[in-house]
Amino acid sequence: MRTRIDQGIVEGLFNDSVYKFLGIPYAEPPVKEKRWREPLPPKKWEGVYKATEFGPVCPQKGGASFDLRTIKQNEDCLYINVWTSDINSNEQQPVMVWIHGGGNLGGAGSEDAFDGTEMAKQGVTVVTFNYRLGAFGFLAHPDIGCNFAVLDQVAALEWVANNIESFGGNPNNVTIFGESAGAQAVRNLLAVRRAKGLFHRAIIQSAGFEPYVFASESSYEKVKKVTDKMFDRLGSSNLKSLQQIPTNKVLEASHEFSGVFPPPGQVHTPANLIWNPVPDGDVISKEGFPGWGKDVPVLIGCVENEARYFIKPNKSYTSETLKNMVQALVGPVSKRVLQILNNDNLTIYESLDKLFSTAVWFEPSYATVKRFEKLERNVYYYHFARVSPGGNRTKELAKHTSEIRYIFGNLEPNEAYDERDTNISKELQHAWITFAENGIPRNQDGSVWPRYNSKAPYMTLIKNEIVSYPLEINQLTQVIHSLRKGNI
């Protein structure tokens, strides 16, 4: 099946009632003299471009949460993928652009959990894409620049604006959504002036929240300091020389200085990661949200056992590790937090999960919802706590990333899920798609998810069913939030 875009004719696949166009370049390859440069628009081509397989993923040493579906890695990685049930430009379907996670170190738009087939069957045009990772996308240096991955994300949205009608999509109804580092990207795009008008709804899943109370924000100076160390390791800080260094050598140095290795006696948390977007006053605003149109609503939330993605139930953790993490995450209120955890009669592992999940996700997400409401924005807050049979068996429960397969309708492998999971998946797809259609998430019975209102705070709880639920802040979250507000 073929359609025409700005660059020329593309030929995709058609099966299971869905058109699939895979591996379309949305920018010129950022290689050689284009390494650490703003992405350039893709060149036009003669003839027909075969968009029938995923393009290479960006160089990485792990970080993907699911099957990448390709073994090709290359700096030539700026490719976009589209799923749609109709390629008639008059269809004007809602467009949903997924930004993948992976700690800004791994992952790709090709991961099997992100396959857009099931969502496309329901009348939306689904888009995924790759962006530069690690130091390739996130270093910061005054002679070179920064936020190259963010510029990639803007370039992908510009490609969507220019071409999505050829895939049945409406360029004036684009939802950006992402999880983990992808959610961080969504949050940052709210602060990117040149992204304004390129999206009309935003969904922030399990990241992209207010800064942690226990760690300094990612800053230009912080990333620049590590960039200097990496350049010392590579033997040059001259851009032309750096552009000639082999990809694998840069990748090794990027990984070495990435922050994935936790301090002695602690466990790794996302706060340790170095390669992040930074407010530079140019690409990303240093204050405010100039990319966020007043009429752009936000759906935001997290999952019950986020930390269990990072700390595994089959590993042993000591009381010393727990004490170290309490000190690292909530130092000024360590005694109170240890008392709360002890009173809950939890195992060391359960205590680590509760501490880690609350300090890194629950409290920052709560603070974000409150901030967004004060900005007079329409915000919908959810909490995902469904434990599948597979999650129960592994004791990972509702870990970080666990909601993704439900949203995309890709509950594989089947033995990990049951009929209730299938029903919840259908409900979540419906909520995400109705939000993309008109900015209000709904259940299949037509009931509306509650908009956050601090005077009568409700959220949507997704467990064995989906219900509107009074927003109850547990004692641990309250203590950490008080620390944020300076009341302790």
What is the rounded distance in angstroms from the CA atom of residue 410 to the CA atom of residue 307? 23
- Between the CA atoms of 269, 377, 220 and 154, what dihedral angle is there, to the nearest 10 degrees? 100
DSSP state of 399: B
Instruction: Measure the CA angle with vertex 29, ends 25 and 30; round to 5°.
Output: 135
Report long-range pairs for 34-38 (Cβ below 8 Å, ≥24 apart).
35/75, 35/136, 35/242, 35/243, 36/136, 36/139, 36/144, 36/145, 36/148, 36/239, 36/242, 36/243, 37/145, 37/148, 38/145, 38/148, 38/151
405 residue type, one letter:
R
Question: Could you say which of 85, 110, 180, 206 is catalytic?
Answer: 180
What is the rounded distance in angstroms from the CA atom of residue 194 to the CA atom of residue 282? 10
What is the rounded distance in angstroms from the CA atom of residue 58 to the CA atom of residue 220? 23
Tokens representing residue 418 in the block:
């049951």
- Rg of the chain over CA atoms, in angstroms? 22
What is the rounded distance in angstroms from the CA atom of residue 297 to the CA atom of residue 315? 41
Per DSSP, the residues of 103-161 read TTTS--TT-GGG--HHHHTTT-EEEEE----HHHHH-EETTTEE-HHHHHHHHHHHHHH
Catalytic residue flag (residue 180): yes
Cα 305 from chain centre: 17
CA distances from 137 to 153, 155, 208, 275 (A): 11, 13, 18, 8
Q: Catalytic amino acids?
A: 180
